[in-house]
Amino acid sequence: MRSPVSRRDFVLGAAACGVLCARGSLGQSLAGPVVKTPLGSLQGLDLDGVRVFRGVPFAQPPVDDLRFRAPQKLTPWTGVRDATRFAASAMQSGEPAVEHSEDCLYLNIWAPEGGGPYPVFVWIHGGGFTGGHAFEPVYDGTEFARQGIVCVTVAYRLGVFGFLDVEPVLGPDYAGSANNALRDLIAALDWIKQNIGSFGGDPGKVTVGGESAGAKLTDILMGIPAADGLFHQMISESGGAERVWARPDAEKVGAGFGEAWHKASGLDAKTIEAVAAEKLIPVQKEFMEDWPKHFPLRAEVDGQLLPRLPVETIARGSAKGKRLLIGTNWDESALFVGPHPAEDPTAKDLGNLSLAAFNAVFAKYAKLYPELSADRRRIRALTAEEYWIPSIHVADAAVNAGCETWMYRLDFAETSGRLKGLAFHSLDVGLVWDKPHRAVENSAAEAALATQIHDAWCSFIKGGAPAAAGLPEWPKYNSMDRATMLLDVTSRVELRPQEEELRLWDGVL
C-alpha cells in the first residue's frame, strides 16, 4: 500500500525531522549500502528495497569567507561518509525544533536497487525563497524509486544568504550575489551529472522540477545559459519566471538591507559579512515586512548568470530540445488570503505587479465572472497574477522555441477543512508524491487521483507523455489551442481554458 500523509504531517514534518538532522561524518561503521563516487564513498540505508542516501554534500559549506560567495567545489574525502541522516536546514525564521545552519548545501537520494541506468528526478523545494526544506516527509522519494526513478531532493541557501545583492554593502567583489541560490542549484545539478551514475542514475536523463518557489527556480533555470546541459526536462508546479529583479532594483534591496541591519544592530553594514548567521534572520524578517514590494529577496538579471529576463532567454531557444510539464491550481491564492478575503488585495498580496496595475485588471473581473462571489473573484485574480499568467508565459516561450510542452490545471478540491471546495496552493504536492491526505471526506477519490498524477509524472520523467490509467490522452500544448489537462476526480482536456480572462492580462503582465 502507498502510505498517505495528513496535512498536519506535511506542516509539522520539518519539526519532527529536526531530531534526525545532522551533517554526515566520516569513518563510522554502519550497516547499509556503500556507493563509491568520484569524490569518495557514502554509506546509506536500505529501506524496503530502496537505497537511501541522506545529507550528501554537493559543495563546500558556504560559511566564513564563503558567505555571500558562489558555491565552491567539494574536496574528495577518504574513508566512508555517513549518509544516513538528513543535513541541517538552510537558515530561516522559526522552527525551534529544526537544526538550521549556513552549512546547508546537501542533497538526498532515493535509488532503486540494481545498476540502472534510471532516469533522474531532481526536486527543488518551495518556501518563498526564504523557507522550506529538502527533507519534508512528503518529499520522501520511495514511490519514485519503486517506479524505476532515482529521486533527488536538493537544498539551497535561502533569504539574505542566497537572494540578496550585497554588492552595495560589501563592494564589487560580491556583484551578482542575489543569484547565489541559483548557483547552488547549478552546483547540485553539476554534482548530479558527475556522480549520479554511481547510484544507478542516468546523467543524460535528468528532470528538474519543483513547486511554488521551487517551480519558479526551475523556470528561471530554464533561462540560464550556464545551466544548459545539466538537465533535459522540467516540471513546474505553480511557478513562473517573473520573480527576478532588474539590477538597479536588486541593488536598492541590498542597500536597504544594509541600512536595516545598521539600524537594528548599531553596527556598520559591512559586519553582515561576519556576524553570526542567526542574528541576520530577525532583521531579515522585519526588513521583508517593511519593504514596500512583496518578496524583496529574489534573483537578479545581473548580465552574467542571468543575461536577460528568463522568459526572454527561453523564447530565444534556451529550452529548445527539452520537454516541459507545467501547470497551476485553480484556487492557488486561497491558501494565503483565505476562503473569504476580508478586503480587496493589497500590494503585499501581489507577486509581480504594482497594486495600480493589478487593480486595473481586477476591476474587470466582476463583468467577466458575474456568477462568482466577490471572494472567489479576488482569489481568481490573485491566482492569475501570481501563478497562472506567469506559467502561461513560460509555456508559450518554451513551445515557440521548440520545447515539447504539456499543460495542466488542478481543479480537484478537498471537501474538508478551512479551504473546503478550493484547489488551493500546494494541494498538488501530496498528489504528485503519491501521499494523499487521510482524514478527509473524499479520501478515496483523492487517493485515486494521487495515483494517477504520480503515475503521469513518472511517465513524463521516463521520457514519455504524461499518462496514467484512467486519464484521457494528454495532448501537447501550443499557443493557439492551449490544450490543458484539467485534473480532477474525472479529468478531462479543455482547449483554450479561461480565454477571456487571459485576454484581460494581455500586455499587463
Q: Which residues participate in catalysis according to the annotation?
A: 212, 332, 425
d(CA 494, CA 474): 10
CB count, 10 Å around CB of 182? 26
Q: 495: buried, middle or exposed (CB in 10 Å: 19+, 13-18, 0-12)?
A: exposed
DSSP per residue, 431-442: HHTT-PPSSSTT
CB 219 within 8 A of CB 310: yes
Burial of 40-77, coded b for 16+ CB within 10 Å and e otherwise, reads bbbbbbeeeebbbbbbbbbbbbbeeeebbebbeebeee
Q: Comparing C-alpha atoms, which of 299, 297, 301 is closest to residue 159?
A: 297
Strand partners, 153: 108, 123
Helix, strand and coil in the chain, % to nearest 5: 40, 15, 45
Q: Comparing C-alpha atoms, which of 350, 365, 403, 378 is closest to residue 509?
A: 350
DSSP per residue, 366-426: HHH-TTS-HHHHHHHHHHIIIIIHHHHHHHHHHHHTT-EEEEEEE----SSSTTTT---TT
Residue type, 236: S
d(CA 139, CA 432): 10
CB 182 within 8 A of CB 224: yes
Q: Comparing C-alpha atoms, which of 216, 508, 490, 261 is closest to residue 381?
A: 508
